[in-house]
């Protein structure tokens, strides 16, 4: 098979711009902690050129449809249909410290006071350029695989809700600890192209008081890994070796491993409702460090170290003559039939919803 990897900057504005993630209007950028990157990987069939898949992990809050649509359109024109909306998969790392205004809908862009074309363009162009670089780096290669546990790097932020799962006793933890990793290398194993892994943890080590653009714990892990496997002295984002720390089933999975406490008393929050004296605002979870930046480093390093161990011991998964193919469908959800259930809402949920409704109105 053919494999290729590419990386490109997607940072956008870093000052006086609202962030995407926490929906806090006063969280507006005042500088840069780490540049945002798009990391693209192409896997292609040797015998059938049209059978290629593209995976892009981008340092962004989400992989918005308005971004994906434009990326696919530009790639389709550049490569005469070789890469399009059907074989390009785009995933955000879900960092909450990235420039916002790129979603194109009122719900996600309201706290940035609307759509910000400059940030959208930086994101779109960076993703396209990373795919172009991956295409230019395509060559015959192998893919190796490994999987393992990453412990003490995530917790469940809704443990009371998890207890309602009927199959909870089948699993040792209330969060997934698995990291799945792919290693890309040349046929002779002498040249390493890149690495992608999937591990579930929210990129929220940096909380909503952070005003510096950053890739959070996953961005930091990528930085460490690329520093290790690119030639000494290579500037960040400029090396041929690309390392993506992608998201997986991160739902209620938090990096704030010290858990939630009431900031006014230091006591644990109410277990069932995540409140302090009936209020949600004072129930805040903290990471393992003395401050959010140290916590970001710790959680990022745990992912980096686990990935490095898996990478060095990965075994052959896809051989050079493996077949590559893809499937893609659209489903019109407006005509889908489903079953719904009535359920009661907690006071804290209703309070949060009312606040959102007032803000939107």
Tokens, residue 150: 């990453």
| Phi (first) and psi of residue 284, to 5 degrees | -130, 135
Among candidate residues 205, 254, 274, 295, the one labeled active-site is 254
Q: Using CA atoms, how far apart are residues 122 and 351, in angstroms rounded to an integer?
A: 36
Tokens 């909450």: give the residue: 96
Dump pLDDT digits (tens) for 124-179. 999 999 999 999 999 999 999 999 999 999 999 999 999 999 999 999 999 999 99
Verify whether residue 254 is a known catalytic residue. Answer: yes
Pairing type for strands 139-149 and 283-286 reads: unpaired
DSSP element (H, E) containing 351 = helix 347-360
- β-sheet bridge partners, residue 53: 43
The ranges assigned to domains in the chain are 2-254+290-360
The pLDDT of residue 350 is above 50: no
Rounded distance, CA 89 to CA 58, Å? 11
Kindly state the percentage of the chain with pLDDT values over 70.
94
What pLDDT sits at residue 360? 34
Q: Ramachandran region of residue 233, left (φ > 0), alpha (ψ -120 to 50) or beta?
A: left
Higher-pLDDT residue of 337, 138: 138
Q: Residue 346: is its pLDDT beyond 70?
A: no
What DSSP character marks residue 340?
A: -
- Give the Cβ contact number of residue 54 at 10 Å: 26
Contact partners, residue 193, CB within 8 Å, separation at least 6: 3, 4, 5, 137, 141, 184, 185, 186, 240, 241, 242
Q: Which residues contact 241 (CB under 8 A, 6 or more apart)?
A: 5, 192, 193, 194, 195, 226, 229, 230
Distances 307 to 189, 237, 256 between C-alpha atoms, Å? 18, 19, 20
Mean pLDDT of the chain: 91
Model pLDDT, residue 361: 28
> CA–CA separation, 237 vs 92, rounded Å?
17
Compute and round to an integer the Cα radius of gyration of the chain: 21
What is the structure's pLDDT at 351? 40
d(CA 126, CA 12): 10
**pLDDT for the residue numbered 285:** 94
Give per-residue burial for 120-132: e unless 16+ CB within 10 Å, then b: bebbbbbbbbbbb
pLDDT above 90 (res 186)? yes
Tens digit of pLDDT for each residue in 14-64?
999 999 999 899 999 999 999 999 999 999 998 898 999 999 999 999 889
Confidence at residue 340, expressed as pLDDT on a 0 to 100 scale: 67
**Residue 169 per-residue DSSP state:** G
For residues 241-268, average pLDDT: 95
Q: Residue 215 CB: number of other CB atoms within 10 A? A: 28
- Statement: residue 342 has pLDDT above 90: no
Q: What is the largest CA-CA distance in the chain?
A: 65
């Amino acid at each position: 098979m053919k494999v290729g990897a590419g990386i490109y900057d997607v940072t956008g504005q870093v000052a006086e711009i609202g962030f995407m993630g926490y929906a806090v209007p006063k969280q507006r950028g005042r500088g840069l902690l780490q540049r945002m990157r798009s990391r693209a990987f192409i896997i292609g069939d040797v015998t059938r050129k049209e059978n290629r898949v593209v995976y892009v992990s981008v340092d962004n809050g989400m992989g918005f449809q308005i971004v994906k649509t434009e990326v696919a359109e530009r790639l389709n024109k550049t490569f005469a249909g070789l890469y399009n909306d059907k074989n390009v998969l785009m995933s955000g790392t879900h960092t909450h410290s990235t420039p916002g205004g790129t979603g194109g809908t009122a719900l996600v862009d309201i706290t940035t006071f609307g759509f910000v074309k400059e940030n959208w363009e930086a994101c779109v162009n960076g993703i396209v350029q990373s795919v172009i670089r991956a295409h230019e780096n395509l060559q015959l290669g192998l893919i190796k695989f490994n999987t393992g546990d990453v412990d003490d790097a995530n917790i469940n932020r809704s443990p009371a809700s998890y207890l309602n799962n009927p199959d909870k006793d089948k699993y040792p933890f209330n969060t997934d600890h698995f990291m799945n990793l792919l290693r890309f290398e040349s046929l002779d194993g002498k040249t390493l192209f890149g690495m992608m892994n999937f591990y579930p943890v929210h990129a929220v080590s940096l909380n909503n008081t952070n005003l510096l653009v950053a890739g959070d714990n996953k961005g930091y892990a990528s930085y460490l890994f690329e520093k290790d496997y690119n030639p000494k002295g290579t500037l960040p984002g400029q090396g041929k070796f690309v390392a993506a720390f992608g998201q997986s089933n991160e739902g209620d999975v938090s990096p704030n491993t010290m858990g939630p406490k009431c900031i006014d008393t230091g006591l644990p929050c109410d277990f069932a409702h995540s409140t302090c004296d009936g209020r949600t605002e004072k129930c805040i979870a903290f990471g393992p460090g003395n401050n959010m930046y140290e916590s970001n480093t710790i959680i990022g390093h745990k992912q980096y170290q686990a990935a490095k161990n898996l990478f060095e011991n990965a075994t052959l998964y896809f051989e050079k003559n493996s077949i590559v193919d893809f499937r893609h469908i659209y489903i019109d959800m407006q005509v889908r039939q489903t079953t719904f259930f009535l359920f009661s809402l907690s006071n804290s949920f209703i309070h949060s919803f009312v606040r959102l409704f007032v803000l939107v109105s």
